[in-house]
Structure formats: structure tokens, C-alpha cells
Amino acid sequence: MGKSQVRYGKRLVQAWVPEGLLESSYTISMKGPTETIIEALNCYINTNKSELELTQERYDALILEATRLKAKIDELTRIKLKETKKEIDKEVSPKKKLIGKLLTEEERQKRWEFTIWPIVKKKITENGIESVLNDEHTINNFSRALHISTGELKERIRINSGVV
């Protein structure tokens, strides 16, 4: 190639092109000479690519599409998991609340006398009343079983054991 000018990554090229070829290409593309020549060169490059280049382009396009599909699957899975969790929470939570509401004072008293008080009495005789009142794990479990606060349960234990 002879001397040419380079500006902004583009090269000025001069060539003798048949006039009829230029006129017919202008009418087909309906663009100016520079745009028509650039379009023709790009078309030439794309049609004369090797099989390896074409396969690589198809592979890259498929990878890109697979990545988009994976992102969509992950999004739909996350949404479905949230909906499933909400349904499970709705099914589980009302049952626990209904049990607490259905417990009457008479049933609470029976639970205390026949189930909880014998265990508490045994622990008091083995370890003393202070260790039973300070055992938060046991107190919390028994208060949940009776559906009363821990303070009420501690007061009930003191009253029944004779320590006020």
C-alpha cells in the first residue's frame, strides 16, 4: 500500500472502481459512497469467515442465551420459593395459635396439677427452689405449656411450694 492518511482509527483509501458498479450499489443501499463501501466490506468479511470463526460466533451466542435463561430460571425459582414459604407459614402458624386459644382455665389447672407441678416439686426437692426459679429453660417451657408468662409461673411455684 502506498502512503495513506490515518485519522481516528480510519484509513483514507483511494481506489479506481468501475462507475457502473458504484452507481448500482448506491441505488441498492440508498447511502453515500463511504457508507456503501463500508457496508460492502463488512458483508464480504461476514460471508468469507472460516468455519471455525462461524462456529465460535454461534458458540458465543449460545453461551449468552444460556446465561440469560439461567438468570431467568433463578429468578422464577426464587419467586416460587417465596410463595411456597408463605403458603407453608400460613398453614403452620394458625394451628399453633388455635391450641393456645382453646386452652380453658380448667384445662390449664389440670395440666398444672397432674403434669407440671409433680415435675417442679421433684426438682425443688432435689435442687432447691432457687435453682428451679433460676432455670430459665425449664421455666420457659412450662410457661409455654400453660400459656402464661414466666412471672406468673414463678409466682405460682412460690405459692404452691409455700414460699411467698
What residues make up the domain containing 33?
Answer: 1-48
HSE, side-chain direction, 13 A CA sphere, residue 37: 11
Higher pLDDT, 113 or 95: 113
Based on the domain organization, do 23 and 53 belong to the same domain? no
SS3 (DSSP) at 43:
helix
Total number of domains constituting the chain: 3
Based on the domain organization, do 93 and 122 belong to the same domain? no
Based on the domain organization, do 86 and 109 belong to the same domain? no
Based on the domain organization, do 127 and 152 belong to the same domain? yes
Could you give the residue ranges of the DSSP H alpha helices within the chain? 19-29, 33-47, 51-102, 105-111, 117-127, 129-134, 136-146, 150-161
Of the residues 32, 48, 64, which one is the last residue of a structural domain? 48
What single-letter amino acid sits at 40? Answer: A
Based on the domain organization, do 151 and 116 belong to the same domain? yes
What single-letter amino acid sits at 67? Answer: T
* Closest residue by Cα to residue 140 from 128, 123, 152, 124: 152
Based on the domain organization, do 95 and 125 belong to the same domain? no
Based on the domain organization, do 111 and 155 belong to the same domain? yes
Is the C-alpha dihedral spanning 147, 148, 150, 154 positive or negative? negative
Based on the domain organization, do 80 and 110 belong to the same domain? no
pLDDT bin (cut points 50, 70, 90) of residue 61 is very high
Joined grid coordinates for residue 11: 484509513
Based on the domain organization, do 111 and 152 belong to the same domain? yes
For 133-143, what is the mean pLDDT?
A: 89
Based on the domain organization, do 78 and 36 belong to the same domain? no
Q: What is the DSSP letter of 7?
A: E
- Kindly report whether the global pTM for this prediction surpasses the value 0.85: no
In this prediction, residue 93 carries a pLDDT of 58
In this prediction, residue 12 carries a pLDDT of 80
Based on the domain organization, do 108 and 152 belong to the same domain? yes
